[in-house]
Amino acid sequence: MSAISDVRIYRAVSPLSRPIADATHSLSEISFYVVEAETECGVVGQGYILSFHYSPGAIAGALKDIRSIAAGLAPNETGVLARKAASEHEYFGHEGIQKWALAAVNVAMWDCWGRTLGVPVWKLLGTCVSRVPVYGSGGWLSYSVEELLDEVLGYVKRGFQAVKIKVGGGVEKDLERLRKVREAVGSGVKIMMDANQGMTLQDALLLSRKAEALDIFWFEEPIDHRDYEGYAILRSRSAISLAMGEREYGIEALKALADRRALDLWQPDLIRIGGVEEWLRSAAYAGACHIPVLPHYYKDYDVPLLCTIPNGVGAESFDWIDGIIDNTMRIEDGYAYPRSGAGWGFSFRRDALTPIE
Ligand SMILES: [Mg+2]
């Protein structure tokens, strides 16, 4: 089989019309690293990382370092890549930026393998469903109420049946924004809230109880993601479901929260957790614990993967890469459809990529 002969790294930027902020971060640009693996036969697969502006030297360095591990492997040898990386990464640590680099290459290899066979990844892995409910994400704390309503109504107009907004700007202010959103979208649209770990347990509990009347579908990362007991307290004292997972490098938090019956929805981040196999393993563990899966951010990979598992319940939609790829995902009437093309079915446009040497 044709082996990977070249691994290239690029940076890409998606324009942001205005800075945005949640309870823990302010963002002035949306930027990405794209890894491209090419086989001796010229088949090219891509995988990308949502990086923002953080630690550009460190993530580029980690990506450069893993190139030599991937070179010479067949595109389906993602397990060999993981084993070699496990040995190489033990010293500085399996978690952190090295895991992101490993995951980006893993995703590029799956693209490359699908393209080698001429099959979409979601068909390669075995298909459960062929479309996935999707929700409109954003609702940044930095938005004015007008901007917030503009965004959620824009999602509703596009057929979305669920929207998520940020909280953590003060309990009364959060409630006011949630009320305005409920009034604007009506009772037929689901509303979720996300504190990005930015609240104290006391405030999270207060908000959760008061927001019950607004029929909030889930409360995401209300508090520090390592505070498992706090999650257990919140879940026992409020009727609103709890969601988390995007900050996890493995399934330890899932295990801890499942043991405490303190989680309603598992939200793995494909890249942070280490790539396709780790994402699937975590989804299977969640399934064994009767916890549904609705992953974080990467809809262009998550929708195909969700089509292959029995306990997927939806995907998060941002459109940050839509302006710099060649084949945007079809979203209609609140559902996202996996692409029919081989691999992941889309590529970053050449003119959007800046090579990193
Ligand atoms: Mg979140």
- Expressed in angstroms and rounded, the spacing between residue 167 Cα and the centre of ligand 1 is 10
Residues 129 and 247 in one domain: yes
Mean pLDDT of 337-342: 98
CATH no. for residue 86? 3.30.390.10
The sign of the dihedral angle between the CA atoms of 172, 26, 230, 245 is: positive
Tell me the C-alpha distance between 74 and 134, whole Å.
34
CATH no. for residue 140? 3.20.20.120
The sign of the dihedral angle between the CA atoms of 22, 25, 31, 35 is: negative
Is residue 29 assigned to a domain?
yes
Pick from 274, 213, 269, 201: which is nearest to 240 by CA?
A: 213
Domain boundary among 58, 87, 118: 118
Is residue 282 assigned to a domain?
yes
pLDDT at site 357: 84
Mean pLDDT of 340-352: 98
Pick from 168, 165, 170: which is nearest to 153 by CA?
A: 165
Residues 78 and 62 in one domain: yes
pLDDT tens profile 100-159: 999 999 999 999 999 999 999 999 999 999 999 999 999 999 999 999 999 999 999 999
- Expressed in angstroms and rounded, the spacing between residue 21 Cα and the centre of ligand 1 is 12
Residues 146 and 279 in one domain: yes
Domain boundary among 65, 89, 118: 118
Is residue 345 assigned to a domain?
no
- Expressed in angstroms and rounded, the spacing between residue 48 Cα and the centre of ligand 1 is 19
Mean pLDDT of 278-294: 98
pLDDT at site 256: 98
Is residue 169 assigned to a domain?
yes
Is residue 75 assigned to a domain?
yes
Residues 114 and 156 in one domain: no
Domain boundary among 118, 135, 150: 118
- Expressed in angstroms and rounded, the spacing between residue 22 Cα and the centre of ligand 1 is 9
Residues 165 and 293 in one domain: yes
According to the 3-state scheme, what is the secondary structure of the chain? CCCEEEEEEEEEEECCCCCEECCCCEECCEEEEEEEEEECCCCEEEEEEECCCCCHHHHHHHHHHHHHHHCCCCCCCHHHHHHHHHHHHCCCCCCCHHHHHHHHHHHHHHHHHHHHHCCEHHHHCCCCCCCEEEEECCCCCCCCHHHHHHHHHHHHHCCCCEEEEECCCCHHHHHHHHHHHHHHHCCCCEEEEECCCCCCHHHHHHHHHHHHHHCEEEEECCCCCCCHHHHHHHHHHCCCEEEECCCCCCCHHHHHHHHCCCCCEECCCCCCCCCHHHHHHHHHHHHHCCCCECCCCCHHHHHHHHCCCCCECCEEECCCCHHHECCCCEEECCEEECCCCCECCCCECHHHCEEEC
| pLDDT, mean over the chain | 97
Number of domains observed in the structure of the chain: 2
For the chain, give the percent of residues with pLDDT over 70. 100
Residues 80 and 131 in one domain: no
Pick from 306, 341, 336: which is nearest to 326 by CA?
A: 341
Contact indicator for 303, 332 with CB cutoff of 8 Å = no
Residues 55 and 204 in one domain: no
Is residue 349 assigned to a domain?
no
Residues 222 and 170 in one domain: yes
- Expressed in angstroms and rounded, the spacing between residue 196 Cα and the centre of ligand 1 is 5
Contact indicator for 45, 115 with CB cutoff of 8 Å = yes
Tell me the C-alpha distance between 130 and 222, whole Å.
32
pTM above 0.85, yes or no: yes
- Expressed in angstroms and rounded, the spacing between residue 296 Cα and the centre of ligand 1 is 7
Is residue 355 assigned to a domain?
no
Residues 128 and 101 in one domain: no
Is residue 276 assigned to a domain?
yes
pLDDT at site 1: 79
Residues 132 and 85 in one domain: no
- Expressed in angstroms and rounded, the spacing between residue 106 Cα and the centre of ligand 1 is 23
- Expressed in angstroms and rounded, the spacing between residue 194 Cα and the centre of ligand 1 is 6
What domain range is 316 assigned to?
123-337
Residues 331 and 199 in one domain: yes
Residues 174 and 33 in one domain: no
Tell me the C-alpha distance between 229 and 260, whole Å.
8
How many residues can be counted in the chain?
Answer: 357
